[in-house]
Amino acid sequence: MAVREQNRRKKILLGEDHNALTWLIILNALLFVCVYFIKVIYDISFGPSPATDLSIDSWVAMPADGYGFLTRPWTILTYMFAHNGLWYLISSLLWLWCFGYILQDLAGNNKLFPVYLYGGIAGGIVFLVTANLIPPIHANAAAFSLIGAGTSIMAIAIAATTLAPGFRILPMLNGGIPLWIITVIFAAIDLGTIGLTNAAMAAAHIAGGLTGFLFIQQLRRGNDMGNWMINLVNWINDLFNPEKKHREENLFYNSARKPFEKRHNFSQQKLDEILDKINEQGYHLLTEEEKEFLKQASKENL
């Protein structure tokens, strides 16, 4: 039991190599620091000015008017990593860590970035369309902009909840709090903060959540919508690291085994530990390696 708990704790270490959650947090924090640094330079040079701060934010925030977006099309990507306030950043990173860790645990490390990006892009598109369709907002479309990781975090939250709504958080509190309750609280806070005055922004966050739901539904059907992103990153990594690629391609050369075929060292002790974990915490908390071990062990006469 102690070994299993130790393994689970290792998975939340933000300093782990190739941890997608770590990189999402870094990108959000880094862009905030860069924008804030530029604002400080301007304030020192020309004096504090709210108009200047808004002007600097406009280069990373997604505008609501179509012309503004055409002149700054990159904002559909930058807005989901940008924040215009320290407390806004801190709250976003806390929710991102909460839901991101759960989705990472349930679906794997490679699903975080695709869900984050898909949710943000879908939210940005819906924001732009809604802001120009609803009459009260259309008249002042240029005054609105979308900024923050809210749409992407909503996508991750709904994706994790769709995958395992009964996932328990803080199990020491009377068995834990179901994930769906945490998600309802988050959605209420998120949409309540936006309010009813900005329907376009609320629609963007709802679109992000629907994107997370659709991502998991497609994943259950065997369609990994983020697979092309992972393949692209791997291709670029191989392009800049040809030695690594060469070693991997020749690793199984002249071997009778199929390339990249996993072989398990079955042991009754490990099987018993996995079965205990299923009884205590549920099948959905098994790692991909444990699920594969269980699948292979079922084919053996242990």
State the average pLDDT over residues 245-262: 40
Same domain? 163 vs 78: yes
Same domain? 150 vs 272: no
Q: What is the pLDDT of residue 157?
A: 96
Q: Does residue 6 fall inside a structural domain?
A: no
Same domain? 156 vs 297: no
Angle made by CA atoms 159, 16, 152, in degrees to the nearest 5: 25
- Which of 213, 229, 245 is the endpoint of a domain? 229
- Measuring CA to CA, which residue among 127, 117, 125, 196 is closest to residue 149? 117
Same domain? 148 vs 204: yes
Q: Does residue 94 fall inside a structural domain?
A: yes
Q: Is the pLDDT of residue 257 over 50?
A: no
Q: When comparing pLDDT for 149 and 67, which is higher?
A: 149
Q: When comparing pLDDT for 26 and 14, which is higher?
A: 26
Q: What is the pLDDT of residue 132?
A: 83
> Per-residue pLDDT tens for 24-49?
999 999 999 999 999 889 888 887 77
Alpha helices in 47-84 (DSSP H): 50-57, 66-71, 75-78
Give the domain CATH number at 200: 1.20.1540.10
Q: Per the structure, how many domains does the chain have?
A: 2
Same domain? 171 vs 122: yes
Give the least confident one: 36-40, 116-120, 196-200, 282-286: 282-286
Same domain? 221 vs 280: no
Task: For residue 200, give its domain range.
Answer: 22-229
Same domain? 208 vs 130: yes
Q: Does residue 251 fall inside a structural domain?
A: no
> Per-residue pLDDT tens for 155-200?
999 999 999 888 888 777 777 889 999 999 999 999 888 865 578 8
C-beta atoms surrounding 223 within 10 Å: 10
Same domain? 66 vs 200: yes
- Which of 229, 245, 278 is the endpoint of a domain? 229
Share of the chain above pLDDT 70, in %: 75
168 — phi, psi (to 5°)?
-100, 130
Place of tokens 């994706």: 159
Q: Does residue 76 fall inside a structural domain?
A: yes
Reported confidence tier of residue 293, pLDDT bands at 50, 70, 90:
confident
Give the least confident one: 9-23, 162-176, 240-254: 240-254
